[in-house]
Amino acid sequence: MKNISFIIGSLCLSAFLALGACNNANSKNTPAAVTTVAAEPGTNNAGKVAYVNIDSLEANYELLKTKREQFKARQEQMEGELERSYQQMQNDAASLQKKAEANQLTQSEGEAAQKRLMQMRQSLETRKQALTEQLMKEQETFNKDLKTRLDAFLEEYNKTRHYDYILSFSASGSSILYANKQLDITKDVVAGMNASAKNEPNKK
């Protein structure tokens, strides 16, 4: 029986982030280092740049870690339900086979039993698909909420930082080949977002 384990592990920001998505993204924490990017020769443009290490944010953002545990528990519950149904179907099939081998079934009884097993299999597949779609939809909704939370936090954060660009950095999927650690504001972002999430129940 194939389970739905492929769903879990996709609760992340990386699927919703692209370089430059946080342009002009904007806490009231100790300011991180600000670096001015040199303008191209012949221009007067310059910009302040910082970046967030998405891998570190995902590893340390408490709300995300909690949600992953909840999704894991729900996945295991769903897999258990499917496995019990599958085992029942297997037991019924084995019992039918024994009766058939012992000539304990009439033709009509055998046909009816076969039809019932086919219906059980179809019902199981339908249930599996429904559970999978349900969990995937909830996962997608949370990922979008996660992205919205990050955008809102950075907008507030940048009111006192005045960065022109806040980039995302990830060892697994970033096009930033080198990052100056003085530009890393991940610690501020993790601390600020954890504080925001912790205070949410008190906001009515």
- pLDDT (0 to 100) of residue 62: 93
pLDDT in tens, 32-49: 433 434 434 444 445 789
The domains of the chain are located at 14-198
Q: Rounded to an integer, what distance in angstroms lies between the CA atom of residue 83 and that of residue 18?
A: 39
Confidence of residue 14 (pLDDT cuts 50, 70, 90): low
pLDDT in tens, 116-163: 999 999 999 999 899 888 888 988 899 899 999 999 999 999 999 999
So what's the pLDDT on residue 175? Answer: 67
User: At 166, phi and psi to the nearest 5?
Assistant: -125, 110
d(CA 52, CA 168) in angstroms, rounded, equals: 5
Residue 6 — very low, low, confident or very high, per pLDDT cuts 50/70/90? very low
> Beta partners for 52?
168
Q: Give the model confidence (pLDDT) of 150-199 as tens digits.
A: 999 999 999 999 999 898 888 877 767 677 888 899 999 999 999 988 88
Encode pLDDT of 73-126 as tens digits: 988 898 899 899 899 999 999 988 888 888 888 888 888 988 999 999 999 999
- In angstroms, the CA 68 to CA 59 distance is 11
Give me the pLDDT at residue 170, please: 85
